Amino acid sequence: MQQLTSRPHGAGAPADRGHERQGPERRSLGGLIGLAVTVLALGAAVPAVPQELTAPPVEQPPSFAVLAEKLSPSVVNITTTAMLADVERGPGPMLPDGSPFEDFFRDFFENGPRGMPRERRSASVGSGFIISADGYIVTNNHVIEAADQVQVELFSGEELDARVVGRDPRTDLALLKVDRDEDLPFVSFGDSDRARVGDWVLAIGNPLGQGFSVSAGIVSARNRTLQGSYDDFIQTDAAINRGNSGGPLFNLDGEVIGVNTAILSPTGGSIGIGFAMSSAVASRVVDQLREFGETRRGWLGVQIQNVDADMADALGLEKAEGALVTDVPDGPAAAAGIEAGDVIVEFGGREIRDTRALVRIVAETEVGRNVDVVIIREGRRENLSVEIGRLEEATLAAAPGAAEPPASGSAPQEEQLLGMLLGVIDDTLRERFGLDPETEGVVVLEVEPGSDAHGKGFTAGDVITEVGQQQVSDPDDVRRRVEAAEEAGRNSVLMRVGRNGQSRFVALNLSR
């Protein structure tokens, strides 16, 4: 059994991934800011003293050759074959009279099995890496999905048939297995959370189907999100091209800190912006695929959104952090007593800064485990215990409950508030805006251009169901809740808004 690791000169670092999904439009990179410091003194002329920014000398390995030699035997080329859709035979090519090929094509197209399905197959290539002596191999899901046959080529040139153990499209990871009498050289996952921007990394794979190839670069950025809730990509400038998909991104300790997955490129080739799924995500997914043949993610059962500064003020929060609950369908959260309007600030003892953090932490939580959750409700911290469910069994929406009938009285049917014309929902407005018969609340009739409501995305047909975390049924209810927020010294008021069956919270600034 041979585990391939190495610790050459200096400390190493993780890198990112990159591959075929070209052009992920995601976060822009920040620019460098030059700093200059001058000193001014009163009553005396003091010359400006420039502050020179210095850094310790960079310890650069003289060569990556030893590391590449040790790690390459753990990397494999992957070739897949897939059946394409059946194609009906056409009438054949048009040929001039007397063509020497006329008899051949007539025999093939006319005397052959015209109208019968014609089998067509396509081949694709990618990369992978061995993580155990008995032949488990990690690659990208998009390398092997829909494949009829998967074949693995070892560094020695030996070819082996592989079977798919499990796939996870959400993180674009897959686990393969090959059988061989002798132990295979393998590598282990490292801790991608310890990788620093600027650390050296190596990418090894099969770019453009040209065979084993090594490229070096640095970690350009961390914690990139491309298009999934569970994304945690390392960005690297190590050259990654088509065919590198599924290959490893190594630190200088010979540990895998990323699985090369995507590139940002207008041309289809490497321009130095590649992305690798971090080992913090990949190692957990691979462990589950190996044990269960599938992923088993935790499920809390809430719809959430981030907290901005206006929301924090309206909710009486010290900081604009946490995950604001917008809806609670039937599920673990509802059973534990979590309500819409609660702000989740801790989960299992870990601080929750935003919705992305909560989604990842919940997904990593063992199904069936009881977790302590800290929420802020009406300005007070409360502790709840939630038994985590399984995401794949989740009910995405709950049937709406019976709404309270609107209060009777002589409240105005329409009122201008906070840059909006608000109205009481009636049959005419239900038909005008396509509202469900069960929808209750206050409907937005018009939005004043340039108002805070306009800037926050309000539009005619939106339905306001809560103001200041209290239900409203007519414009007068809204006005009284706004006045109560002003009397309490709030700069903002929180509203719960429904559109197309989905709800969200929006904080409107009272001073605008």
CB 152 within 8 A of CB 159: yes
13 pLDDT tier (thresholds 50, 70, 90)? very low
pLDDT value for 271: 86
Could you tell me which of 295, 212, 224, 293 has the C-alpha nearest to residue 248? 212
Q: Strands, DSSP E only, in 225-340?
A: 233-236, 248-250, 256-263, 274-278, 298-299, 303-306, 323-327
Q: Strands, DSSP E only, in 154-244?
A: 159-168, 173-178, 200-205, 213-224, 233-236
Mean pLDDT comparison of 28-37, 169-178, 482-491, highest-scoring range: 169-178
- Which domains, ranges and CATH numbers included, belong to the chain? 1-23+65-91+105-294 (2.40.10.120), 298-393 (2.30.42.10), 414-509 (2.30.42.10)
Containing 336, the helix (H) or strand (E) segment is helix 332-336
Percentage of the chain exceeding pLDDT 90: 41
Residue type, 241: N
**What tens digit of pLDDT does each residue of 233-265 get?**
999 999 998 889 999 999 999 999 999 998 887
Residue 131 has pLDDT above 50, yes or no: yes
Is 312 in a helix, a strand, or coil? helix
Q: b vs e for 424-454, b when ≥16 Cβ sit within 10 Å of the residue's Cβ? A: bbeeebeeebebeeebbbbbbbebeeebbbe
CA distances from 3 to 80, 162, 510 (A): 27, 21, 63
Alpha helices in 228-315 (DSSP H): 279-292, 309-315
**What tens digit of pLDDT does each residue of 378-417 get?**
889 999 999 999 986 433 333 333 333 334 344 457 888 8
**What tens digit of pLDDT does each residue of 297-328 get?**
899 999 898 888 888 888 888 889 999 998 89
Q: What does the angle CA 302 – CA 305 – CA 306 come to, to the nearest 5 degrees?
A: 135
- As a whole number of angstroms, the distance between CA 105 and CA 221 comes to 58
CB 288 within 8 A of CB 298: no
Residue 104 has pLDDT above 60, yes or no: no
Residue 492 has pLDDT above 80, yes or no: yes
pLDDT value for 87: 45
**What tens digit of pLDDT does each residue of 438-491 get?**
888 899 999 988 888 888 889 999 999 888 878 888 888 888 888 888 777 778
pLDDT value for 405: 38
- pTM, rounded to two decimals: 0.63
CB 176 within 8 A of CB 128: yes
Catalytic annotation, residues: 142, 172, 245
What six digits make up the tokens of 276?
């690798």
